[in-house]
Amino acid sequence: MNTNAKNYRQKIINLLITVVISMLVGAVLIGVLGNNPWQAYGALFQGAFVGKLNFGTTLANFAPLLLTAYAFIIPADASFFNCGVEGELYLGAITAAFVGYNFKGLPGPLHIVLCFLCAMIVGALWSLIPAVLKVRWNVNEVCVTILMNYVAMYIASYLVNGPMSAKTGTAQTPAVADNTQLAKFLVPSQANTGIFIAIAVTIFLYWMMNHSTVGYEIRSVGQNPHFSEYIGISPVKSMVNSMLISGAIGGMTGCIFVLGVYGYFLDNFSMGIAFNGMLAALIVGNDYKLTPFLAFFIAALQSGAQGMERNTGVPKSIVDVIISIFIIFATMEALFSFLSKKKKNSTAKSQSNTHHKEAES
């Protein structure tokens, strides 16, 4: 237990060092462009936290990042590298929009629940496809999920341009019923009560993964499928379960966008939100406790980027560059092993272990 805590502390220290390094690289980049890095970061901070609009935008960015990050981590715990959250999100969103503007007579809360349920079911069914392909025939999940994202995007795009179009010129569906829209706060921004739903769901997922049988089975399969099978946990079932959960979360995120942010489905609205969630999860190495902090950090960076571009002229895409440098460093687990000699020994050991494992398989 003690060594665990020590490793965890080491992990957080590594993470902080990575943050500093990537911010430094970003500063150098900004300097090369002929701007003052200090000023640019100041504007970034202001753009993320100062003022109702800015802080609201940060919060509005935070909710989908948090949910999509969890949608990535849970299958990753069963060693399923799910890049398909983006597709789940689109299909969930279009389903929520369909339910939202069709059954107008229903009482508000019931209608909202119905929207969420349908979006979650569609998302889960969609994510069932790669899961089944993986467990039946060992089809590589990264490839299939990425390609399926495009399919999902075009399905949604077809629906919103064709049968479900509001016929207003822009590609969007009719607005959902008024009583289904989630309440907004910090008004000029897009922040809405969806964020509380996101936080509640996150807490539930954290509990589920750490203190329930389903969660235990998923984690156990990820750590050692052979052992799990030996003690009577079906790896197939756990992997499929984890993907169903992921799909449901993805669909729910889409639903929050439709009911909370826009009030209708907008073609191509996401632009890689789920991938940012995946980044947040990858950076912390799929850690449940640290993910919310990272999701918040990335959300702040992204909303601050707009303020930075407005006030100092530094292009906001530089923030994406900084985040991607951040993640390249963060995935290199052994990068900081030189910090302590003891750790170096242990990495050498585990390296030889992995060699053995490779050899066995």
Question: Contact positions toward another protein, by CB under 8 A?
Answer: 33, 81, 83, 133, 136-140, 142-144, 146-148, 150-151, 154-155, 157-158, 161-162, 235-236, 272, 275, 278-279, 282, 315, 317-318, 320-321, 323-325, 327-328, 331-335, 347, 350-351, 354-356, 358-359
Instruction: Tell me which H or E stretch contains 307.
Output: helix 291-312
Nearer to another protein, 212 or 317 (CB): 317
* Closest-CA residue to 95 (of 201, 251, 230, 293): 251
Nearer to another protein, 188 or 272 (CB): 272
Residue 172 has phi, psi (to 5 degrees) of: -150, 160
Nearer to another protein, 176 or 323 (CB): 323
CB of 32 to another protein, least distance (A): 10
Nearer to another protein, 224 or 354 (CB): 354
CB of 143 to another protein, least distance (A): 5
CB of 191 to another protein, least distance (A): 26
DSSP 34: T
Nearer to another protein, 79 or 193 (CB): 79
How is 235-283 classified by DSSP, letter by letter?
Answer: HHHHHHHHHHHHHHHHHHHHHHIIIIIISS-BTT--SSHHHHHHHHHHH
Distance CA 223, CA 229 (A): 12
Nearer to another protein, 180 or 276 (CB): 276
Phi-psi bin for 139: left (phi > 0), alpha (psi -120 to 50), beta?
beta
CB of 4 to another protein, least distance (A): 19
Distance CA 112, CA 59 (A): 21
CA distances from 295 to 26, 63, 68, 127, 332 (A): 19, 9, 10, 23, 20
Distance CA 202, CA 218 (A): 17
Residue 192 has phi, psi (to 5 degrees) of: -145, 175
CB of 2 to another protein, least distance (A): 24
Distance CA 141, CA 126 (A): 13
Nearer to another protein, 179 or 340 (CB): 340
CB–CB of 259/176 below 8 Å? Answer: yes
CB of 117 to another protein, least distance (A): 27
CB of 47 to another protein, least distance (A): 18
Quote the tokens at residue 151: 């399919």
